[in-house]
């Protein structure tokens, strides 16, 4: 049995707990929030006894073995390292950290303390992603990829009204690429590895973060174009185009409805897929299995994906002068 604590009380933490409830032997046993009112209310809602308003105190508790972190992006590293130092496994929301320096430090602390650090990148753990991967050989030489995650954010309305929602600020390491672009970017990296070159073309907001952007990854024989936006909407599918066919799917964050068009056919073949009401169940299953079986090879694979994704977003920000507050 594994018991986990949670940091953050937003809807994504509810979704994680909901997914965890359907996993075997994975028990929610501790809650953290900055204020006791919120912490108690959240604990009551999820029927949890151990309530904390102090991260250091929580890290010293023996009531859980693993922590799920869904704090604002800029706080992930400090929170994760605090728990890793106390021999807790960490499942940290995407984007794992603000930069590679933080990731290297956290991996080092995890190793020294004999625990695991995972990035909760939900799309690449799903059976639908596996289905795409398993069918890649059917499309021949890949020649182009167009992936996107473009979702108008209600927080943009607040931003336009003069508020500063965390995700639209450099203080909290926000912006479209690190918030949404990382989903399609993780798909590209998990399928094809590190690209040879990267170029980013953002639309920057006055707060200093990117509201929208185009990221171009150059591979040896093809390019992958990634569009991300929190200030517009899209209704298009994602495509991986090869000489003998095209793989198509909806929503790079979820990977819905994967299908294959052969160059010789006008009708798509629907690929094996599962319905994904809450696809966080797949990452939980994967992380639990890696811990329980001490699968270092799979762990290293996931570490490499997180590392490559973070290196690329850092390089994209370097090219375009998007500097997070903690880096100034």
Ligand X SMILES: NC(=O)c1ccc[n+]([C@@H]2O[C@H](COP(=O)([O-])OP(=O)(O)OC[C@H]3O[C@@H](n4cnc5c(N)ncnc54)[C@H](OP(=O)(O)O)[C@@H]3O)[C@@H](O)[C@H]2O)c1
| Residue among 20, 43, 120, 185 that touches ligand X (CB under 6 A) | 120
Distance CA 214, CA 228 (A): 7
Tokens of 315: 């390089």
Residue closer to ligand X by CB (options 29, 246) is 29
Residue 254 touches ligand X, criterion: CB under 6 A? no
Residue nearest to ligand X (CB): 10
Applying CB under 6 A, the span of 71-79, 129-137, 192-200, 319-327 interacting with ligand X comes to: 71-79
Stretch that binds ligand X, among 70-78, 130-138, 209-217, 233-241 (CB under 6 A): 70-78
94, 230, 259, 317: which one contacts ligand X (CB under 6 A)? 94
**From the CB of 296, what's the least distance to ligand X, in Å?**
25
Stretch that binds ligand X, among 65-73, 187-195, 240-248, 311-319 (CB under 6 A): 65-73
- Find the binding residues for ligand X in span 126-145 (CB under 6 A): none
* Cα dihedral 154→157→161→164 (10° resolution): 50
Closest approach, Cβ 93 to ligand X, in A, equals 4
Contact segment (CB under 6 A) with ligand X among 3-11, 111-119, 127-135, 206-214 equals 3-11
Contact residues toward ligand X (CB under 6 A) are: 8-10, 12, 33-34, 38, 70-73, 75, 93-94, 120, 122, 166, 179
């Amino acid at each position: 049995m594994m018991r986990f604590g949670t940091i953050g009380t937003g809807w994504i933490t509810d979704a994680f707990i909901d997914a965890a409830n359907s996993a075997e032997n994975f028990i929610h046993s501790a809650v953290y929030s900055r204020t006791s009112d919120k912490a108690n209310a959240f604990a009551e809602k999820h029927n949890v006894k151990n309530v904390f308003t102090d991260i250091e105190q929580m890290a010293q508790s023996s009531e859980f073995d693993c922590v799920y972190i869904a704090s604002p992006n800029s706080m992930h590293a400090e929170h994760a390292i605090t728990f890793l130092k106390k021999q807790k496994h960490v499942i940290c929301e995407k984007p794992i950290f603000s930069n590679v320096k933080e990731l290297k430090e956290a991996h080092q602390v995890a190793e020294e303390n004999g625990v695991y650090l995972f990035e909760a990148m939900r799309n690449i753990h799903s059976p639908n992603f596996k289905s795409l991967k398993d069918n890649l050989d059917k499309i021949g030489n890949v020649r182009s990829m167009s992936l996107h995650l473009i979702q108008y954010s209600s927080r943009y309305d607040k931003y336009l009204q003069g508020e500063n929602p965390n995700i639209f600020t450099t203080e909290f390491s926000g912006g479209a690429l690190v918030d949404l672009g990382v989903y399609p970017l993780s798909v590209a990296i998990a399928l094809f590895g590190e690209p040879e070159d990267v170029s980013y073309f953002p639309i920057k907001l006055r707060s200093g973060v990117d509201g929208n952007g185009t990221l171009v990854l150059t591979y040896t024989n093809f390019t992958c174009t990634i569009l991300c936006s929190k200030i517009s909407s899209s209704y298009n599918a994602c495509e991986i185009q090869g000489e003998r066919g095209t793989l198509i799917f909806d929503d790079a964050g979820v990977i819905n409805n994967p299908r294959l068009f052969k160059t010789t056919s006008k009708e798509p073949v629907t690929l094996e897929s599962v319905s994904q009401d809450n696809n966080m169940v797949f990452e939980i299953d994967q992380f639990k299995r890696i811990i329980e079986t001490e699968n270092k090879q799979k762990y290293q694979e996931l570490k490499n994906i997180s590392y490559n994704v973070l290196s690329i977003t850092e390089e994209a920000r370097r090219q375009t002068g998007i500097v997070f507050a903690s880096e100034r």
